[in-house]
């Protein structure tokens, strides 16, 4: 597959700030899946885990990992998963668009097709009335070419809202690879990942600030991916890889230099971080509450999905062939 052309513009990334003290990662329980890249993970009230892998299948695991069922096949690349109020799974599929999947029959309803108006449907959050908040990561590149979006830095990502009647509107644009989405427990605001800016942005949905946005968290020490609101009320952040000083320096070079660097063979790129990292922040202040970071276990690394469910932390990965979980101390 040929590489897409990029058109870099002048941009300077934020300089790394001081991270809070690291906390030892508790012992991981790793549950293998029969596929690669279980990017997100979702838990139901029965303890079942749901995830999607790179061949298009949606999988359901029992809590102990002993039973693994394929409940649907999207024929695309499922990423973010959410519970929908009607009992189905909402699936963000980078190749097909925004989907609803019947977890009993495997039937798929296409809500918004992928295309020029939805290039990379990545992650979502669903309100109690069925309103869906979801991201289009970039208008320029397909998912396999996410590095092109990083080098170009044209901020074409957006956060969108689909109302129950099917109307779609853009809530916030100008995002650098829009990714994870999380709703406040009282649905007063929605948080979205501004990936290449190492930040979380917040859009107010109710109250005096309704319709405005601000920065909840900035200058993160790693690349944020999916986010979610835990049963503890905190915003949990999957940190896929630590920031690299060299990359920050490269992204401060003139546009013409970055365009040349994009032509470097992909095999020369450094591999993504081989560690496990998840952080939780207060949704009001953005202050960090938990920071769990540690080495890979049984090949599980590069955390891209995180869920807190009654004290247990569940993790997905874009690179592993397993999901993992640990108990919050």
Please compute the mean of the pLDDT values over residues 182-203 and round it to a whole number.
Answer: 97
Q: Are 221 and 233 in contact (CB under 8 A)?
A: no
Query: DSSP secondary structure string, 214-269?
Result: EEEE-S-SEEEEEEEE-TTSPEEEEEEEE--HHHHHHTTS-HHHHHHHHTS-GGGS
328: left (phi over 0), alpha (psi -120 to 50) or beta: beta
Provide the mean pLDDT of the chain. Answer: 89
Per-residue confidence (pLDDT) for residue 18, from 0 to 100: 46
Residue showing tokens 């979006």: 149
Give the residue with greater pLDDT, 114 vs 151. 114
Query: Could you tell me which of 289, 311, 293 has the C-alpha nearest to residue 302?
Result: 293
Per-residue confidence (pLDDT) for residue 243, from 0 to 100: 86
Domains of the chain with CATH codes: 23-327 (2.120.10.30)
Distances (CA, A) of 212 to 21, 127, 207: 32, 19, 10
DSSP three-state, residue 43: strand
User: What would the two tokens of residue 100 be?
Assistant: 């609803």
Q: Are 206 and 222 in contact (CB under 8 A)?
A: no
DSSP three-state, residue 64: coil
User: What would the two tokens of residue 58 be?
Assistant: 């949606």
Please compute the mean of the pLDDT values over residues 153-178 and round it to a whole number.
Answer: 95
Close Cβ partners of 309 (under 8 Å, ≥ 6 residues apart): 43, 230, 231
Question: Measured between alpha carbons, how far is 123 from 40 in angstroms, rounded to an integer?
Answer: 9
- Judge whether residue 123 has pLDDT over 60: yes
The gap from C-alpha 68 to its chain's centroid, in whole angstroms, comes to: 23
DSSP three-state, residue 70: strand
Q: Are 114 and 97 in contact (CB under 8 A)?
A: yes
Is this model's pTM higher than 0.85 or not? yes
Q: What is the pLDDT of residues 197-240, one digit of tens each?
A: 999 999 999 999 999 999 999 999 999 999 999 999 999 999 99
Q: Are 164 and 131 in contact (CB under 8 A)?
A: yes
User: How would residue 11 be classed by pLDDT, with cut points 50, 70 and 90?
Assistant: very low
Question: Measured between alpha carbons, how far is 278 from 221 in angstroms, rounded to an integer?
Answer: 11
User: How would residue 270 be classed by pLDDT, with cut points 50, 70 and 90?
Assistant: very low
User: How would residue 245 be classed by pLDDT, with cut points 50, 70 and 90?
Assistant: confident
Per-residue confidence (pLDDT) for residue 262, from 0 to 100: 64
Per-residue confidence (pLDDT) for residue 272, from 0 to 100: 57
Distances (CA, A) of 103 to 37, 68, 110, 164: 20, 14, 15, 20
Please compute the mean of the pLDDT values over residues 141-158 and round it to a whole number.
Answer: 83
């Amino acid at each position: 597959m040929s590489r897409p052309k990029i058109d870099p513009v002048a941009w300077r990334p934020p300089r790394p700030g001081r991270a809070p003290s690291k906390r030892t990662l508790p012992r991981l329980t790793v549950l293998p899946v029969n596929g690669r890249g279980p990017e997100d993970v979702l838990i139901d009230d029965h303890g079942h885990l749901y995830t999607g892998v790179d061949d298009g299948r949606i999988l359901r695991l029992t809590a102990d990992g002993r039973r693994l069922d394929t409940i649907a096949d999207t024929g695309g690349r499922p990423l973010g998963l959410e519970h929908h109020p009607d009992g189905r799974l909402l699936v963000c599929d980078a190749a097909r668009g925004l989907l609803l999947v019947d977890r009993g029959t495997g039937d798929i309803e296409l809500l918004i097709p992928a295309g020029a108006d939805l290039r990379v449907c990545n992650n979502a959050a669903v309100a109690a009335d069925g309103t869906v908040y979801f991201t289009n990561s970039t208008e320029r590149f397909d998912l396999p070419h996410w590095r092109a979006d990083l080098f170009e830095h044209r901020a074409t990502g957006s956060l969108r809202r689909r109302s129950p009647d099917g109307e779609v509107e853009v809530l916030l644009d100008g995002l650098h690879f829009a990714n994870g989405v999380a709703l406040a427990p009282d649905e007063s605001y929605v948080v979205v990942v501004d990936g290449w800016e190492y930040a979380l942005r917040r859009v107010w949905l109710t109250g005096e600030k309704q319709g405005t946005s601000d920065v909840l968290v900035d200058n993160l020490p790693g690349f944020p991916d999916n986010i979610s609101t835990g049963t503890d009320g905190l915003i949990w952040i999957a940190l896929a890889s630590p920031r690299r000083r060299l990359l920050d320096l490269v992204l401060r070079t003139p546009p013409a230099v970055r365009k040349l660097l994009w032509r470097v063979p992909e095999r020369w790129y450094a591999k993504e971080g081989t560690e496990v990292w998840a952080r939780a922040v207060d949704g009001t202040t953005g202050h960090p509450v938990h920071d769990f970071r540690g080495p890979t276990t049984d090949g599980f690394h590069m955390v891209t999905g995180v869920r807190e469910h009654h004290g247990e932390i569940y993790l997905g990965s874009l690179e592993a062939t397993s999901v993992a979980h640990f108990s919050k101390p």
